[in-house]
Amino acid sequence: MAGVIWQMVWPVVLYGLMVDGMSVLWGGPGTLAGTAAGAVLAVPVFWRLYLRLEGNRFDEKLCFGVWDGIICAVLGIAAGAAVNTLIMASPLWRYFPGFSHTAGNIYKAPALLRLGAAGIVIPAAEELVFRGLVFGGLRRKWSFGPAASLSAAVFGLYHGNALQGIYGFLMGWALAWDMERRQTVKGAVFMHMGANWASLVLTALTANWPGR
């Protein structure tokens, strides 16, 4: 059990230290710029760690081309829309307003920073951490169901508030399923990017609707 806990904790702690450290130097704690700077630092580091950990389990020699990335991005958009619709159709958003603070930090940043950071760099880093290392490491020991559930729970808890936690858990399952199906973390990266881009664009568009 100690080994399982360690596998769930160490990638997240290392990523958190990178993000917090870069935030101190760039943009300040809690800012999108600081998180993005930490993610930029984390991507090459966690890519190398992922290749070392998954060398015997996931085949990174499998062909993954532009069309695969497009398909995964579309799947991410669909999955993100479905999960958001379920949450917004429930009363949960009324009882757990913590997401508004997080959203404020994201949407007060310039548009290009939002799209580049929340739409590209941060999803890539988070997928390497939570799917590549946490799910991948657990999957080497356990069957898909328990590995996906635990990694999704860690992903949800990492987001720090109830609504994002629920969203993260459900999306974490979908992302783990894609990694299991394709045997590479690359599909999950594009799914995560697609979901985030769709959310960013939709929020920008609805903010400018008449009456808003």
Whether residue 150 contacts residue 130, with contact meaning beta carbons closer than 8 Å, is answered with: no
**Residue 212: its pLDDT value, please?**
41
**Residue 25: its pLDDT value, please?**
83
**Residue 45: its pLDDT value, please?**
96
**Residue 65: its pLDDT value, please?**
86
Q: How far apart are CA 203 and CA 208, in angstroms?
A: 9
Tens place of pLDDT per residue across the chain (212 aa) = 777 788 889 999 999 999 999 888 876 766 888 889 999 999 999 999 998 875 545 555 567 888 999 999 999 999 999 988 888 787 776 666 655 555 555 666 677 888 899 899 999 999 999 999 999 999 988 999 999 999 999 999 998 788 888 999 999 999 999 999 998 999 999 999 999 998 888 776 655 444 44
Q: 3-state DSSP: the chain helix, strand, coil percent, rounded to 5? A: 80, 0, 20
Exposed (0-12), middle (13-18) or buried (19+): which is 29, by Cβ within 10 Å?
A: exposed
Q: How far apart are CA 156 and CA 171, in angstroms?
A: 9
Q: Which of 5, 8, 3, 2 is nearest to 154 (CA)?
A: 8
